[in-house]
Amino acid sequence: MKRLPVLLGLLAVTLLSTPALAETPSAQRLLDQARRNMAPVNNYSVDVQLDVKGENMTIKGMTMTLYFKRPDKTRILAKQGFSAMPRSLTLGDVLAELAKNCRPALLRTEKKQGIDCYVIRLDPIRQGSQPPALLWLDKAHLLVRATRSGGPFPVKSEWKYARVDEKYDLPRRIDAQITAPQSAGFGRRGRRDPDEPGRRANARTPAPGPGGPTQTMHATLSFSNYRVNKGIPDSFFTSKDPPRR
């Protein structure tokens, strides 16, 4: 009979612990739910302003229009002159691109921008293919709040959002700190320059390899005038000279 209180105590501890463990989601489940939340956004276009300040480069008020259509079609057209986009920043289906060929692991929770976030490490499936990255996912809305990549050219970014059409949370501002080779520049895309069919709009020529001198650049992308689910034909992304939309 002396064992009964002990057994009851162990049972109580088990029952109290099980719900807490069950409430801790897996990293993959969090990413899957975050992508489901964004699934209603089938396509959009948005005006983007880019400002960059670096040791060897300054860009002030470059304006362009970004077009996106699921699953992975993007295109950028300059509003004036030429367009450029940091090769290290991901736009469009952000979570799919960040987690591609990676195995996610939930590390902890912490605040970012004063918001409670899950911290998820993205480990590459193939060792040596790329360094691990960190992702801060807003606990309440499962939005990307910050990213950090490793390697010889690390990138840090913080994301802020706007409520669009009273139902979509889409980026309003991205602030990034980019370490790059001193010789690296941004890819250019003239308003009427032809694109290769199927090529991503933010694809760029490969950056120089590690080992040389580096520079730190601070880039800010500001987004405005979203047009969501208005319909963009596939041909728009492969046309050599698409009409302005």
Is 2 part of a structural domain of the chain? no
Determine, yes or no, domain membership for 59. Answer: yes
The mean predicted confidence, pLDDT, of the chain is 81
pLDDT of residue 2: 54
| Domain assignment present for 75 | yes
DSSP code at position 60: E
Cα 61 to Cα 20: distance, rounded to the nearest angstrom: 49
Residue 153 sits in a domain whose CATH number is: 2.50.20.10
Domain encompassing residue 56? 24-237
* Residues of the chain with confidence (pLDDT) below 70: 1-24, 129, 183-211, 241-245
Cβ(207)–Cβ(233) below 8 Å = no
Is 157 buried (19+), middle (13-18) or exposed (0-12) by CB count in 10 A? buried
Write the DSSP assignment of 100-136 as a string of letters. Answer: TTEEEEEEEEEEETTEEEEEEEEEESSTTSS--EEEE
Buried b (16+ CB within 10 A) or exposed e, 33-56: ebeeebeebebbbbebbbebebee
pLDDT the model gives residue 16 = 41
User: Is residue 18 domain-resident?
Assistant: no
* pTM (2 d.p.): 0.78
Instruction: Answer whether residue 11 is part of any domain.
Output: no
Which burial class, exposed, middle or buried, applies to 133 when counting CB atoms under 10 A from its CB (0-12, 13-18, 19+)?
buried
How many domains are there within the chain?
1
In a domain, 3, yes or no: no
